[in-house]
Each structure stands twice: as structure tokens, then as C-alpha cells.
Amino acid sequence: MPFRLLKYALKKEHPAPRFFKAHEMPKKSYDVVIIGGGGHGLAAAYYLAKDHGISNVAVLEKGYIGGGNTGRNTAIVRSNYLTPEGVNFYDASVKIYEGLSEELDLNLFYSTRGHFTLAHTESAMRTMRWRAEVNKHVGVESRVVGPDEIAKACPQLDLSCSGQAPILGALFHAPGSIARHDGVAWGYARGADSYGAEIYQNTEVLSIDVKNGKVCGVQTNKGYIETKQVLSAVAGFTPRITEMVGLETPIVIHPLQACVTEPMKPWLDTILVSGSLHVYVSQSSRGELVMGSSLDPYEVHSTRSTLDFVEGLTSHMLDMFPFLSNVKVVRQWAGMADMTPDFAPIMGKTPIEGFYLDAGWGTWGFKATPISGKTMAQTIANDSAPDLIHTFRLSRFEDYELTGEKGAASVGH
């Protein structure tokens, strides 16, 4: 049993100090205001202070921290993307994640399980090879494997998928991991708070004050805050925020659903994704199967759940694992995904001076939390986006320089 638990147990007064302070009302002004207290916003606040010494920062959260897509995703972290720019970016994220528990001194249960993207058709195999080759090129450990290797990693998987969609092979991505998603938000919140950033929950931004093309403040339900720099790090509500500054983005909102089973003893040690069957699944450290599927096919601004989602998903799960017939689904839920045309995020500066965007995270935001926080902090501190996120700039939609992650981002969040 680790020493620190023993120390903790022997203490009379248990509680550690608050993860983050509870401030009553925001100050009159801040150097930077971050809209959105999810993983991304909190990470940006953390790195602004840690890397750039900017700690006069307010993070404004409409609900509670980590309550949006940070707490709704299926917690998969990977970097097996399709474009070199995408792979490099997500790989940088994976690298930070690997040391993040130590850095934040909070166990995020970052668990490297290996990630298989199953291919059931020749055309899927082609895409797997493409991704593997690009990944290898930039030094990320991904390769195309045959059914034997899949069977070795997951002997319970029915390789014929009940005869419906025989598995021809897979893209194996060794660094594929899962993590406790809430912990990521809490850890960054504690970190940012310790440097002096202020976190306000139940604080909603009502408008953003722009004069002569420059940000000068935000109006909130807790009063007006002066600031010259605003970062929008929200999900599911980006269009509402960009409207406030008169900015247009090609973001549309689709729900993304997920569900979880009762806990069972560990048996699934890898992360499995099937594009053809629209399934991704891993087993949490508590023993639950955490499962998701592709986006709802239509735009809806809602976190409602649907029955046909869970019917379709479980039917395909049973194709893969017929013995789960009597394992029970406890809960289903949904998040709202900001979708972009090329399935890549929108990051960096905007035509409005002092307004920065960290958006369009669709179904791939959790895995990018550390690196997006770091690079957005860099962008705000230097008023200039680093090369790593150049490819994700908003102007790419006018420049016709899209990033093309559709194939790698779609099902395999």
C-alpha cells in the first residue's frame, strides 16, 4: 500500500485543501478570460500560468467544471490519425498525458491498453494501411496487424462477428490509452488555481464586448469583466459564443451518444474500435464496459438519448461478443459535438483581436486536452499560434486548406 495513503489515513483531519478556491464574485478585470471550464479551458489556464507566467486569469463555467464533453466522452487517448499534422499534434498530447498524473499529482488512471481499429472490408484495410504508414513516418507506433494478433490480444472477440462482418485485420496503435476524464479537469483546475487563476462555476457569459475589432470585455450573469483577451473553449455551444463577436465558423452540432454496463471482473484489456459495426469499447478500471458509436446523423442541439442508438450499438457489440447477452447496460448519455467539415479542430487567432478560438472538437477533444491547453496558452501569450496548430487555423476554410481527418476521426473517437 503506498505510503501516501498510509499518511492520509493517519491524519486526524482528512481533507486535503480544496482543489480550487470558491470565489464569490469575479474581479473587475483580468488579463485573460477563458470561457468554458472543461478540460481544454482549465488546461489553457494552467499552462498560461505555468509556462507563461500569466495568472491573472478567470475561467468562467456556465455549469460545473468538467460537466460538458470532458465528462461525457469515452476517455480514449490515441494519436493514430491520418494526416502528418494530425498525428504530430495528437502525439504531442499523448506524450504530455503519459506524465500528467505525476505533473498534476493526481492519479488520472492513465492506462495504456493498446488500441485496435478493426477492418472488416478491403477498403477499410486500405485506410488502416494509410494511417499506419503516416503514423510510422512521424514516429508513432501503429501498424497493420492480421486476425491472429487481434485474437491474441482479445481472445474473446468473435473474429467473424457472428458471420456478419468477418475481421480482415486491424490498425494496431500501441500507445492507445484510457484515462479518468473527470480527473483531467480536476487536476488542471487544481493546477491552475494553485498558480492564482480563478475558477467561477455557475457563471455564464452573456455577451462579449468588441470595439473597433478588439475585445474589451465580457458581460456575465455575475457582472461585467474587463479583459483584452478572451479564449472560447466551449463545446456544443461554440456557435453561440462566436455569434457574440460576429464570427462565422462552419461548425454544426450533432449529438454523440455513449453508454456503460454494470461492472464485471476485468477481461477486456484492449481498446477496440470497429468502423463498420460503429462500435468502440473499453473496460474501465471499475470494470464497466464503456461503449460508444458514431455521431447521430442529424444536427440537434440537445443531450437527449435515443433508444435506437443503444439498440444498434448493443446489437453490434453482440456480433463481436455474443456472450454479453445478459450483461446489462446501466446508463446511456449524450454530448453535443461541434463538427467541422474536415473533422479537425479550429484553433488559434481569429479576425477579432484578442478573441481566440479553441473549438470544433467534435468527437476528438478529450485526447487533445493537454496539448490544446498548452498551444492555446502559447497562442494567447504570444498573440501568435505555434506551428503545431497552424493546420487547424480558422482561415483554412477560406483558404481551401482543409486537414482531412474524416477517415481517422469519425468512428474511432
Partner 1 sequence: MSLRNSYKPGEWINRAKEINFTFEGEAFTAFEGDTISSALWAAGQKVLGRSFKYHRPRGVLSLANHDVNILMTDGTDTNMRADVVEVKDGMTLQAVNTIGGVKKDKNNYIDSISPLLPVGFYYKAFHTPRKLFPFWEHMIRKAAGLGIVNFDYPRILKRKLHTHCDLLIIGAGPSGLTAACKAASAGLQVTLIDENRHLGGSLSYDHGGHKVSAEYGEDLLKKIESLPNITVRVGAYAAGYYPDHFIPIVETGGITKVRAKAVIVASGAFEQPPVFRYNDLPGVMLGSAAQRLIYRYGVKPCHNGIVFTANDYGYRVALDLLAAGANVLAVVDLRAGGNGGLHNLELCKRGVKIYAGHCVYEAVATSDKSKVRGAVICAYDDKNNVALTDNKFTVDCDGIVMSAGWAPAAALLYQAGTAMQFDYDVQQFVPSRLLDGIFAAGKVNGIFELDQRMRDGERAANDALNYLGKLAVNTNAEKHSGGAPSHAYAMVPHPKGKNFVDFDEDIQIKDFENAAKEGFDNIELMKRFTTVGMGPSQGKHSNMNAIRILAKIRGLPVEKIGTTTSRPFFHPTPMGHLGGRGFHPHRLTSLHDWHEAHGAVFTDIGAWKRAAYYPQFGQTKADAIQAEAMAVRKSAGLIDVSSLGKIEVHGPAAAEFLERFFTGKYANQKIGTWRYTLLLDEAGVVVDDGVASRVADDLFYLSIGTANAAMVYREMQRCQQEWRLDIGLVNVTGAFGAINIAGPAAREILSSLTELDLSTEAFPLGHFRETTVANVPTKVIRASFVSDMAYELHSPMRQVPQLWNALMDAGKQKGLRAFGSDTQRLLRLEMGHTIPGIDTDGLTNPYEIGAEWVIKMDKPYFVGQRSLSILSKRPLRKQLVAFTLAANFKGEVPLECNLVIDSGEIAGRVTSISYSKFIDRIIGFAYVAPAKKAVGSSFDIRTDNGLLVAATVVATPFFQLQEA
Which region, judged by CB under 8 A, interacts with partner 1, from 50-58, 109-117, 216-224, 352-360?
109-117
State the DSSP code for 246. T
221 is a contact residue toward partner 1 (CB under 8 A): no
211 is a contact residue toward partner 1 (CB under 8 A): no
144 is a contact residue toward partner 1 (CB under 8 A): yes
**Binder among 91, 296, 338, 342 for partner 1 (CB under 8 A):** 342
Shortest Å distance, C-beta 41 to partner 1: 16
Which region, judged by CB under 8 A, interacts with partner 1, from 39-47, 159-167, 208-216, 351-359?
159-167
**Binder among 84, 92, 141, 388 for partner 1 (CB under 8 A):** 84
1 or 152: CB nearest partner 1: 1
Give me the DSSP letters along 76-124: EE----SSHHHHHHHHHHHHHHHTHHHHHTS----EE--EEEEE-SHHH
117-136 binders of partner 1 (CB under 8 A): 121-123, 126-127, 129-130, 133-134
State the DSSP code for 15. P
270 is a contact residue toward partner 1 (CB under 8 A): no
Per-residue contact string for residues 393-412; x = within reach of partner 1 by CB under 8 A = -------x-x-x-xx-----
Q: Which three cell numbers stand for residue 119?
A: 477492418
Distance CA 69, CA 34 (A): 16
175 and 38 Cβ atoms separated by less than 8 Å: no
Q: At what angle do helices 39-52 and 369-382 cross, to 10 degrees?
A: 50
106 and 262 Cβ atoms separated by less than 8 Å: no
272 is a contact residue toward partner 1 (CB under 8 A): no
Distances (CA, A) of 134 to 8, 81, 311: 47, 8, 35
**Binder among 29, 56, 95, 111 for partner 1 (CB under 8 A):** 111
CA dihedral for 338, 343, 344, 349, sign (positive or negative): negative
**Binder among 29, 56, 162, 207 for partner 1 (CB under 8 A):** 162
Distance CA 296, CA 190 (A): 34
**Binder among 105, 248, 299, 383 for partner 1 (CB under 8 A):** 105
Q: How many residues bind partner 1 (CB under 8 A)?
A: 97
Q: Which three cell numbers stand for residue 196?
A: 492564482
Phi, psi of 297 (to 5 degrees): -80, 5
324 is a contact residue toward partner 1 (CB under 8 A): yes
Neighbours of 311 (CB within 10 A): 10
**Binder among 55, 232, 261, 379 for partner 1 (CB under 8 A):** 261
Which region, judged by CB under 8 A, interacts with partner 1, from 48-56, 146-154, 176-184, 222-230?
176-184
Distance CA 150, CA 127 (A): 18
Per-residue contact string for residues 33-72; x = within reach of partner 1 by CB under 8 A = ------------------------------xxxxx---x-
Cα of 129 vs its chain's centroid, Å: 25
28 is a contact residue toward partner 1 (CB under 8 A): no
Per-residue contact string for residues 274-313; x = within reach of partner 1 by CB under 8 A = -----------xxx----------------xxxx--xxx-
Shortest Å distance, C-beta 244 to partner 1: 26
Angle value at C-alpha 216, between 391 and 43, nearest 5 degrees? 45
